[in-house]
Amino acid sequence: MNQEHLLIKALKGEPLERPPVWMMRQAGRYLPEYILLRNKYDFFTRVQTPELACEITLQPVDLIGVDAAILFSDILVIPQAMGLEVQMVENKGPFLPKTISSQKDIDALIVEGAAASLDYVSKAIALTKKELNSRVPLIGFAGAPFTILCYMVEGKGSKAFDKAKQFCFSQPELAHQLLNKITDVTIAYLHEQVNSGADVIQVFDSWSGLLGPEEFKQFSMPYLNKISDSLSARVPVILFPKGSWYAMEELSNSSASAIGLDWCVKPEFARQQTQNKKTLQGNFDPCKLLLPIPQIEQEVKTMIDAFGTNRYIANLGHGILPNIPVEHAKAFVNAVKNYRAL
């Protein structure tokens, strides 16, 4: 048997000489090899064709040398599986022609069998695991229920998701019904990902930071806990509620192995709030990848010095941007790989 991968060791809290590294959206538009496929196949064709999803997932492993692969897919496959149409407008983002606003809308959502309709994801995972041949572990993922609700109610991306929040605040019973349905489908879907070979699960709550502390406790945290409690007996779970810095204490009492951080959170603050109970992941500002390479290397060193090499996964604080030169992405990854504490 191979020695265990760095990512798994970091998630288990084993002592390490340097942290593992991967980048959110590492299979993305900064890679010319990805652009070639993007120009040939539309978004959901890439997501729904196991061979294409596999090829895209492997690109950053082969080209950049990251320590983990993350499945190429999208969080909005869940609304699709539940019966809502999702259009992906290239360079503009998602659009859902029919949104959720009433009891009737919620009643019409598919729950039973919804996860099973996403079998193309299972196939993509199985194929990717085979191609990876244990080089690096494979991360599966889903959107967190609050974030999925945001898109289902708002129907598109938004700066503040006011409509979605107002739905939650003014009709909390409907909101919880909807969140429970999304959670049930998401749990079944993530178990299928693990069945197919996902080694780690990350849950992206991209919009939880729009909620205040009390509302986060009400509309996000219980559903993150449900997912984590169900999955974490099988694989390590990473929760990334972006912007919810105020909830670090609750998060550190969850069953998850790790918490993702954006770049506004100081490493010292996160360590103190989590009392070193969790592995922390993050939090390089993606905009900093435009710095000259020597400065990227310096900033990466400063970041790892602050987090330490144990219970830490080096990553960005958000997805890599399309205009980042490939050499800069490589420099980021190599700076982590070459890290040595003095």
Residue partners of 177: CB distance under 8 A and separation at least 6: 103, 106
CB 163, min distance to a second copy, A: 9
Q: CB 62: neighbour CB atoms within 10 A?
A: 13
Residue with tokens 């999702």: 86
43 binds a second copy (CB under 8 A): no
Query: Looking at this protein, which amino acid is placed at residue 97?
Result: P
- Please, what is the minimum distance in Å from the beta carbon of residue 218 to a second copy? 12
The answer to whether residue 157 forms part of the interface with a second copy (CB under 8 A) is yes
Residue 291 DSSP code? S
- Name residues contacting a second copy, limited to 191-250 (CB under 8 A): 209, 211-213, 215, 243-246
The reply on whether position 131 binds a second copy by CB under 8 A is: no
| Contact set for a second copy, span 314-333 (CB under 8 A) | 317-318, 321, 323
116 interacts with a second copy by CB under 8 A? no
Tokens of 97: 């022609």
* Residue 107 burial class via C-beta count within 10 angstroms: exposed 0-12, middle 13-18, buried 19 and up: exposed
**Of residues 292-311, those binding a second copy (CB under 8 A):** 292
Residue 34 in the binding site for a second copy (CB under 8 A):
no
**DSSP conformation class of 97:** S
CB of 296 to a second copy, least distance (A): 10
CB of 269 to a second copy, least distance (A): 7
Q: Angle 50-63/119-132 helices, nearest 10 degrees?
A: 40
Strand partners, 139: 70, 200
Where on the chain is the footprint of a second copy (CB under 8 A)?
157, 159-160, 162, 165-166, 169-170, 209, 211-213, 215, 243-246, 263-266, 269, 285-288, 290-292, 317-318, 321, 323
